[in-house]
Amino acid sequence: MIKHGLQIFACNASRELACDISNRLGMRPGRIDIARFSNDNLRVQIQENVRERDVFVVQSFTEPVSEHIMELMITLDALRSASAQRITAVIPYYSYARSDKKDAPRISITGRLIADLLQTAGANRVLTMDLHADQVHGFFSVPVDHLTAVSLIADHFRNRHDLSNMVAVATDAGGAKRTGRFSEKLGIPMAIIDKRRVSDTAVKQGAVVGEVAGRDVVIFEDEIATAGTLVSSVDTLKAAGARSIHAAATHGVLCGPAIERLRAAAIDSVVVTNTVALPEDKRLDKLTVLNVAPLFAAAIERIHSGQSVGALFE
């Protein structure tokens, strides 16, 4: 039984996921009105009593990203003004985690900026999943619970594939640690593709480090955005003699030409989770979407009752 005082609110990017999380906790999402004034300014009104409540607001940073971030910021501020006792920003997909370093002159480390703004708006803590880089966790000055879908995705492959001939593949050296955790969960070997990024949208790939010839390979990433890296990795692995190719990622962003690229690619299956809501026109036959609502519900229950969130992954 969930203790009295817990409330969950959904902003527009994650309404379906928030409803599922709430249902699993035996409750309904709190009533909230998000509208616009005539000058296009956003207006958020909390339509529940939240005084001295433990409140969780669910909102992924998905397209349109700036719109959804602003929605969340105003909602956090409204909850703080309404005297909520503790406010947790639940951000299943934190897109600005990719802006984690100063890799060009005169640019913003935007992942850190957004972290500061969340605290300023009223967030007392953050709950998120599979950040693009581990160091982004340190950008926050409030407590952060960092969930992972590695076990969920690993279980999917364990239950549906013969692992005796399978190899996990990292698309570059930077993703080797992430892919290594996935390969350890499945007890399978790992290979790495030598990739050099030319620009934000273009990469140059070289040899495969590891044995993939005649093997079933699964490319493991934190997210699939335009699918450019994924498709070029498929071509590299096919040229290296891979027997079958699968792909898995926590965040199925699938923006721009991603759907057309995946449809045309020589790839057997793609597995993502519902941290990003996907409309029906992006639901390919080869695409499987796993549900992270049970994991978020369990984490929220543990945060609310003062239990360890890390115990979920032990």
CA distance 189 to 218: 11
CA distance 72 to 60: 9
- Please indicate whether residue 195 is annotated as part of the active site: yes
Residues 6+ apart with CB under 8 A from 8: 18, 21, 22, 25, 27, 29, 30, 55, 56, 57, 58, 300
Task: Work out whether the CA dihedral 295, 299, 300, 305 comes out positive or negative.
Answer: positive
Contact 191, 211 (CB under 8 A): yes
Residue type, 190: M
CA distance 170 to 237: 11
Q: 127: part of which helix (H) or strand (E)?
A: strand 125-129
Q: 116: part of which helix (H) or strand (E)?
A: helix 110-121
* CA-wise closest residue to 267 among 290, 235, 225, 240: 235
Beta-strand runs (E) in 77-211: 86-91, 125-129, 144-147, 166-170, 190-197, 203-209
Tracing tokens 């070029």 back to the chain, one arrives at 232
Cis peptide before 143 (omega within 30 of 0): no
H-state helical runs in 150-292: 150-160, 176-186, 228-239, 258-264
- In the set 195, 238, 282, 286, the catalytic residue is 195
Tracing tokens 């115990």 back to the chain, one arrives at 311
Tokens of 239: 């040229």
* CA-wise closest residue to 219 among 255, 256, 262, 257: 262
Q: Active-site positions? A: 195
